[in-house]
Amino acid sequence: MTNTVRMGVIGVGHLGYHHARNYAALDGVALAGVVDTNEGRAAKAAADFGAPGFGTVEELLAIGIDGASVVVPTVLHHGVTMALLSAGVDVLVEKPIAVDANQAREMVGAASAHGRLLQVGHIERFNGAVIALLDAVKQPRFIECHRLSPFPNRGQDVSVVLDVMIHDLEIVRALDSSEVVSVDAVGVPVFSASEDIANARVRFASGCVANLTASRVSVERMRKIRIFEPNAYVSTNYSEQEVLIYRKKLGKPEVGQTPMDLIDVQALPVHREEPLKLELASFVKSVRDRTRPVVAGEDGLAAVELAERIVRFIREHG
């Protein structure tokens, strides 16, 4: 590989367009080409970022690339990713890694068999607040996640667990990678055939318990995670990229004080930059240095496996 990493983007709709934009602007990266079955979208991205546009993955592979972002509908993740991996290309595939754990396992296996890197686009891991959170939390005992949003202007053919909650499932697994020993969950459809609101309680072998709520039928948006440790409480607002840590001061309350007066609150320093830019720069570094991605295929697989377990519980006990 030369010092310049040649990257491609398959699927340049709303999100894929921004993958192309970022690759075109990154130092040491050449946007080698974009692919979309929609000629208009391919032509626009090609013109805007000075890269050739193609209608098929085969045409992109023919010009030679080192890595590629797969930003197509989830049902196409498996087929496109497998084709790229077998052609010797490193892949960043958007979340969720695949429509189910079986496809995800095949993708992870193919990456290993072909000696290629597979990264999954769990973009929240590159949110400055999450980076600060993961660095600060050492022994989580209770994790509470809320991810709520209005109903999107598109059909939903998958559960809110795979569509929305999966962001937090991957972060929770990053905070506690011990075995999941039990799951309790409930969910209801509102506008879709599958769950639009869901709550799950997950217990880990470490003793940590995570309570997660996801909704795509809320009036207001909320993206928060709260973590309790033996000696601290950490509150994170994803949207504001803000992390507050609460710790108990030493000593006892003096006359006229309440126990709450002994709580010290500090805002953790957060590096605020476009998460997608950081995610793609991290992927390029992995491609160049041959290092494990921050969110590898195995991590995306673990998130899907847990999501499937939650959905299965909801439907078996509904």
Domain that holds residue 38: 5-122+276-295
- Asked, for residue 227, whether it belongs to a domain, the answer is yes
Residue 266 sits in a domain whose CATH number is 3.30.360.10
- Asked, for residue 205, whether it belongs to a domain, the answer is yes
Are residues 63 and 167 located together in one domain of the fold?
Answer: no
Quick: pLDDT tens for 278-305.
Answer: 999 999 999 999 999 999 999 999 999 9
Are residues 32 and 135 located together in one domain of the fold?
Answer: no
- Asked, for residue 220, whether it belongs to a domain, the answer is yes
Quick: pLDDT tens for 201-252.
Answer: 999 999 999 999 999 999 989 999 999 999 899 999 988 889 999 988 777 7
Are residues 229 and 267 located together in one domain of the fold?
Answer: yes
Are residues 310 and 164 located together in one domain of the fold?
Answer: yes
- Asked, for residue 82, whether it belongs to a domain, the answer is yes
Q: In what order do the strands lie in the sheet with 142-148?
A: 180-188, 197-204, 209-215, 142-148, 222-229, 232-237, 242-248, 263-267
Residue 97 sits in a domain whose CATH number is 3.40.50.720
Confidence of residue 262 (pLDDT cuts 50, 70, 90): confident
**Distance (Å, whole) CA 159 – CA 146:** 16
How does strand 209-215 pair with strand 142-148? parallel
Give the chain's domain count: 2
pTM comes to: 0.92
Are residues 68 and 110 located together in one domain of the fold?
Answer: yes
Give the pLDDT of residue 153: 65
Distance between start and end Cα atoms, the chain: 53
The percent of residues in the chain predicted with pLDDT above 90, rounded, is 86
In this structure, of 146-150, 173-177, 260-264, the range with the lowest mean pLDDT score is 260-264
Q: Cβ(65)–Cβ(41) under 8 Å? A: no
Are residues 112 and 220 located together in one domain of the fold?
Answer: no
Are residues 310 and 168 located together in one domain of the fold?
Answer: yes
- Asked, for residue 300, whether it belongs to a domain, the answer is no
Are residues 145 and 214 located together in one domain of the fold?
Answer: yes
The percent of residues in the chain predicted with pLDDT above 70, rounded, is 97
pLDDT at 155 over 60: no
Are residues 112 and 237 located together in one domain of the fold?
Answer: no
Three-state DSSP class for residue 145: strand
